Amino acid sequence: EAQVTQNPRYLITVTGKKLTVTCSQNMNHEYMSWYRQDPGLGLRQIYYSMNVEVTDKGDVPEGYKVSRKEKRNFPLILESPSPNQTSLYFCASSNGQARTQYFGPGTRLLVL
């Protein structure tokens, strides 16, 4: 089944404790992206990657890092999480040509 998976689905952590949210897709898509969803703001893009080893900032990149060492994986790294990063995070992938993005199930993060 074609899908985007994220782990973990739920995470509670404390300020300053580094964490990684994994994202993997099995559709051989070149393009991958991370969004955060906050009430009333819809989804905002954090980072995106056009291909392996090619990443760039989206609208709200501060406090986040990403890497793209393999085509299928695009982890999101919070090196020193803060409470304002409490949010619902979505990973998405696309083959680019279709401009249609397929979303993972989301990761709900609470930073205390």
Which residues are near other proteins by CB under 8 A?
A: 31, 33, 35, 40-45, 48, 50, 56, 58-59, 90, 92, 94, 96, 99-106
Cβ nearer to other proteins, comparing 87 with 94:
94
Q: Classify residue 86 as left (phi > 0), alpha (psi -120 to 50) or beta.
A: beta
* Residue with smaller CB distance to other proteins, 75 or 104: 104
* Smallest distance, other proteins to C-beta of residue 44, A: 7
Q: How far is the CB of 53 from other proteins (least distance, A)?
A: 15
Tell me the backbone φ, ψ of residue 84, rounded to 5 degrees: -75, 0
What DSSP designation does 77 have? E
State the minimum distance, in angstroms, from the CB of residue 37 to other proteins: 8
User: Which of 17/57 has CB closer to other proteins?
Assistant: 57
The β-bridge relationship of strands 10-13 and 107-111 is: parallel
Are the C-beta atoms of residues 6 and 66 closer than 8 Å to each other? no
